[in-house]
Amino acid sequence: MSEIGKRIVVVGAGITGLSAAAAARDLGMSVTVIDDARPSRATYAAAGMLAPYSEAIVGDGELGAQMVEALSLWDSWRRGLQVPDELFEFVPTKFVPATFGDRQEIARWARDAGLELVESAQGLQGPLEALTEPRELVRHVREQLLDLGVVFVDGVVSRVTETDDSVVVARDGAESISGDLGLIATGASSVVADDSLLIRPVRGSLVVLDGPARNEPQVARVLRHGRPLYVIWRRSGEIVIGATSVETSLNVAEAGEVQVMLSDAIETFPELRQLPFREVRTGLRPTATSNTLNSRVSAHGRYLQLAGHYRHGILMAPLSSRRVREFLA
Ligand SMILES: Cc1cc2nc3c(=O)[nH]c(=O)nc-3n(C[C@H](O)[C@H](O)[C@H](O)COP(=O)(O)OP(=O)(O)OC[C@H]3O[C@@H](n4cnc5c(N)ncnc54)[C@H](O)[C@@H]3O)c2cc1C
């Protein structure tokens, strides 16, 4: 049966909801996206590394395979949404150990993760990975969806319910919106359906400095006395130092974690010391018990919940999109 013209309601306009909305629109459906722009949304805090190798978790083969596949699909996914070339760029990741012990630790981790690191004049290099800028990315995707006729509605969703042939999205202080099918992508901070997937919030914070514009981006993965840290130098001059990982639903950056990130970054790269400080960003990463990408179809098959994007939701956007296509097929 053709689904063309069906009314789809998407809850959440982070990267997951937007990629879901794009997949539904591409299948010819009529799409409405509802979002409350809450401060804890992860997409607006994210660094934008598309990094299946340097983010590998030893022993988690399923997640690793998802991440590698996502990177292989990313370029064609973003082209399909007219996302400009400068928002997808391959960058070699440099590994920077601070001490002999840190170097041994990186070597052990790479061996266990099956990763080859190459010693070169530039330092210890990993495989090529990619970089995007999440805020610009979602701005472009959103504009593209508006051009394609997707409707965006501001509002807090209190509940999603279903009948045999429809889905009803209840909003705080406003009329409900109903559709034929629903897609729920509310990230870590909101349970809106009775049979929601179990998701735990993992807070991440990062620091942004203003550096000079540069010809090439650069990514360094630092291990300093056992503490991991990354530093991204973007072409625009923006420098991103991140990111912490704390199992909590409290979306605040603690002074101590910011202090440690900054001092580790500055001790490793002293030239950062005098750069203007721009901001600290925090967000709650939506994390499933397994750390892997997860989804669930509701009892009557009227809505799909997408969750578990953890530290990799920007990278995983093409897989979210594919899962939505399977659901809507
Ligand atoms: C500091 C940090 C750095 C990161 N770096 C990277 C990285 O380099 N690469 C990478 O791939 N990933 C990274 N991530 C992870 C990535 O940001 C997340 O996995 C991804 O953004 C999750 O997207 P989402 O759309 O599922 O959730 P979110 O971005 O949280 O979006 C959920 C949306 O739903 C809305 N919402 C929630 N509840 C309701 C409700 N009841 N009613 C209406 N709207 C609602 C929210 O307002 C929000 O807009 C990082 C995360 C953090 C925090």
Are the C-beta atoms of residues 183 and 17 closer than 8 Å to each other? yes
Centroid of ligand 1 to alpha carbon of 65 (angstroms): 21
Q: Which two tokens stand for residue 76?
A: 């064609």
**Dist. CA 270 → ligand 1 center (Å):** 32
HSE-up (13 A, CA, CB side) for residue 36: 17
- Identify the pLDDT of residue 60: 82
User: How far is ligand 1, taken at its centre, from the CA of residue 310, in Å?
Assistant: 9
- Are the C-beta atoms of 198 and 286 separated by less than 8 Å? no
Which residue among 19, 38, 200 is best mutated to probe the pocket of ligand 1, counting the most ligand atoms within 8 A of its Cβ?
38
**What is the chain's Cα-based Rg?**
20
**DSSP line for 262-307:** HHHHHHH-GGGTTSPEEEEEEEEEEEETTSS-EEEE-TTSSEEEEE
Superfamily the domain 7-328 falls into: FAD/NAD(P)-binding domain (3.50.50.60)
Residues lining ligand 1, CB < 6 A? 11-17, 34-38, 41-43, 45-49, 156-157, 185-187, 189-190, 192, 204-206, 242-243, 283, 285-286, 309-315
The predicted pLDDT at position 1 comes to 41
pLDDT of residue 3: 59
Cβ–Cβ under 8 Å, residues 35 and 16: no
The answer to whether 212 and 19 have CB atoms below 8 angstroms apart is: no
Sign of the C-alpha dihedral computed for residues 150, 154, 160 and 163 taken in this order: negative
pLDDT per residue, tens digit, the chain (329 aa), is 455 789 999 999 999 999 999 999 999 999 999 999 999 999 999 999 999 999 888 888 888 999 999 999 999 999 999 999 999 999 999 999 999 999 999 999 999 999 999 987 777 999 999 999 999 999 999 999 999 999 999 999 999 999 999 999 999 999 999 999 999 999 998 888 887 788 899 999 999 999 999 999 999 999 999 999 999 999 999 999 999 999 999 999 999 999 999 999 999 999 999 999 999 999 999 998 877 888 999 999 999 999 988 999 999 999 999 999 999 99
Contact 257, 235 (CB under 8 A): no
Alpha carbon of 117 to ligand 1 centroid (Å) = 31
Question: Would you list the domain boundaries of the chain?
Answer: 7-328
Beta strands 246-247; 218-224: pairing state: unpaired
Residues 6+ apart with CB under 8 A from 79: none
Asked if residue 304 lies in contact with residue 184, where contact means CB atoms within 8 angstroms, the answer is yes
Please identify, by atom number, the ligand 1 atom nearest to the C-alpha of residue 315.
11
> What is the reported pLDDT for 288?
86
Q: Determine if the pTM surpasses 0.95.
A: yes
Centre of ligand 1 from the C-alpha of residue 179, in Å: 24
- Cα(319) to ligand 1 centroid in Å equals 15
